[in-house]
Every structure is written in C-alpha cells, then in structure tokens.
Amino acid sequence: DLGMATANSLAAVEAGARQIECTINGLGERAGNTALEEVVMALRVRNDLMPFQTGIDTRKLMNISRRVATVSGFPVQFNKAIVGKNAFAHESGIHQDGMLKNAETFEIMRPEDVGLSGTSLPLGKHSGRAALRAKLEDLGFEVGDNQLRDVFVRFKELADRKKEVYDDDVVALMRASDDPEIERIKVKSLRVQCGTEGPQQADLVMEIDGVKSSSTQTGDGPVDATFNAVKALFPHEARLQLYQVHAVTEGTDAQATVSVRMEEDGRIVTGESADTDTVVASAKAYVHALNRLLVRREKSGKDTPEINYKDHS
C-alpha cells in the first residue's frame, strides 16, 4: 500500500528468499503488487550487490508489458519505471548533453535490454513494407506475411492522415491486428454531430454477420450517441465497466487509443482500438468488445440472441 513492493521483494531476496510473486506492470487485485520488470532489472543492473539469476529474457519485458496493457485495458503510465514511455526519454538540455557524452550518465540500462529499439525514427507515407517489417522487428513483434499485409494496409491509411508515424503509432496498429477472433460485427461508417448546439447525434452503419444495417441515435455527447447506435443495431445487456482514452503520440493528429471493458453474466471482456478520430476509435473498441463477448457466449454454450437486422434510422 506504500509503494514498497519492489524494495520489500529485493530485501527478501537479500535475506534468503528464492521465490518472488510478481505481476506484469504491477497490476493486481488491489494495490501493492510487485512489478516483475522492476525486480528483474534491479537484480540484473545491481548484480554486484545481489549476485542472483532469474533466467528471464529481459528483451521480452516491453512486449509482454504492452500485451498485458492491451488485454487488461489499463495503459502503462508514462513515468512507470522500466516499461513507461518516458523511462528512456530525455528532453531537458542537461540530460541530452549528458546522454550525448556518455549514455550511462542518465541510463543505468540500455533500451535494448528490455526490448526497446535504440532509436525512434518515424516512418512516413513513402515507407515500404520492408521498412515496416524492420520496424516491427525492432519493436519486438514477429509477424507473418499475412499479418504484415493487414498491418501495412492500415499503416498506409494512417500515414496518409499523419505526417509522421512513430513507434507508438505502429504498436497501436499491431494491437488492433493482434486478435485472431472472427469479427461478426463491423463498423462500416460513422458520422457524428456534436458541439454546443444539441442534440448530439450519431449516424452509424454496421455489418452484422454479413448483413448491413444503419441507425441514427442521440445521446449525451458523440460517444454516448455512438454507443446508443451500436446497441440499437445489436441489442445486448452487457454493462459498460470502463471507458478510457489516451493519446498514443503528441499533437492534434495523434492516434487516440480507446479501451472498453464490459461485463455480462459474470463474463468480462475488453476491447481496444486506435484511430486519429477519437469517436471512431471509441466505436471500434466497443464493437471489438462485443465481438469478444460473442466468442465468450459461444464457448460457454449460451446461444446468441437472434438479431433483428432492420434499419433503425
């Protein structure tokens, strides 16, 4: 509860303990859980004081951290040790000068040690498939030809909208494609009306089991109106537990990553999507969660209710 989990764990190792109960990103049932990446890298960096081995491939720490963040719907805070976005960032002049002269001035470990690329060179709309594959490999992703084709199509779409596509943008694209589940529900088009003059309205077209249908709904803001439109086209009793938005990169053209967590009859599912349009990302994340819910229903043997595919507009 006092944020001393890593210190306590290292003290226990020093006192003779040879097993530590850890979690990824420090997530757990309440608070005070030891972050695996902190303990592992502390033992590695200060092996002179604690000469113990864990046998863990530290180069996979960043990738597993991102995967857990995606599945749980809880993004890693920027200033989180080891796996945070700012852990290896140096903005101030003094820091940058020190890094140029000797990286060990401010970094007691290399970014490559935890699975980060040593550089963060942006890609652009003229970048090819080979450059994208090389970037993915640098970021710790292993992709087959089919997955690369899928990611490359969405990468080109994003590059047309953004001047530069950074590492975090590529990671967000991979998160969206790293789900082998079948998409029974798809967002085909979305148009929203919002602002100080109400009502806020969403015009949504979805494809459900190959059948297109549309709905126009209002709500308390564009996201609420969009979610109402989804529910009108695909009625369900799932309760929204979490709706979370964070920017992937800086700037007004940054991708927004939206995380959604829903619960139905004790089954909890999460959905995530990224887009330069926050409302579009919200709709796709909501639908992503519903697709996962359908899979959970099928696995539990519960029949999916029949859907009325009429036009709700």
Question: Residue 244: is its pLDDT beyond 80?
Answer: yes
What mean pLDDT is reported for the chain? 82
Mean pLDDT of 83-87: 79
- Domain final position from 177, 195, 228: 177
Question: Residue 254: inside a domain, yes or no?
Answer: yes
H/E/C letters for each residue in the chain?
A: CCCCHHHHHHHHHHHCCCCCCCEHHHCCCCCCCCEHHHHHHHHHHCCCCCCCCCCCCHHHHHHHHHHHHHHHCCCCCCCCCCCCCCCCCCCCHHHHHHHHHCHHHCCCCCHHHHCCCCCCCCECCCCCHHHHHHHHHHCCCCCCHHHHHHHHHHHHHHHHHCCCECHHHHHHHHHHHCCCCCCCEEEEEEEEECCCCCCEEEEEEEEECCEEEEEEEEECCHHHHHHHHHHHHCCCCCEEEEEEEEECCCCCCCCEEEEEEEEECCEEEEEEEEECCHHHHHHHHHHHHHHHHHHHHHHHCCCCCCCCCCCCC
Question: Residue 91: inside a domain, yes or no?
Answer: no
Question: Residue 121: is its pLDDT beyond 80?
Answer: no
Question: What total number of domains does the chain contain?
Answer: 3
Task: Give the structural domain span for 212.
Answer: 185-300
Both tokens of 58, joined, read 């530290």
Looking at the fold, whether 210 and 245 belong to one and the same domain comes out as yes
Question: Residue 39: inside a domain, yes or no?
Answer: yes
The model's pTM is 0.66
| Closest CA relative to residue 190, chosen from 270, 290, 287 | 287
Looking at the fold, whether 58 and 132 belong to one and the same domain comes out as no
pLDDT of residue 247: 79
pLDDT of residue 103: 61
Question: Residue 273: is its pLDDT beyond 60?
Answer: yes
Contact between residue 132 and residue 123 where contact means Cβ atoms under 8 Å apart: yes
Looking at the fold, whether 241 and 268 belong to one and the same domain comes out as yes
Question: Residue 103: inside a domain, yes or no?
Answer: no
pLDDT-based confidence at 201, cuts 50/70/90? very high
Question: Residue 302: is its pLDDT beyond 70?
Answer: no
CATH of the domain at 279: 3.30.160.270
Question: Residue 45: inside a domain, yes or no?
Answer: yes
Question: Residue 269: inside a domain, yes or no?
Answer: yes
pLDDT of residue 313: 46
Looking at the fold, whether 200 and 291 belong to one and the same domain comes out as yes
Question: Residue 101: is its pLDDT beyond 70?
Answer: no
Tell me the pLDDT tens digit for each residue of 169-193: 787 777 766 555 568 899 999 999 9
pLDDT of residue 102: 63
pLDDT of residue 20: 92
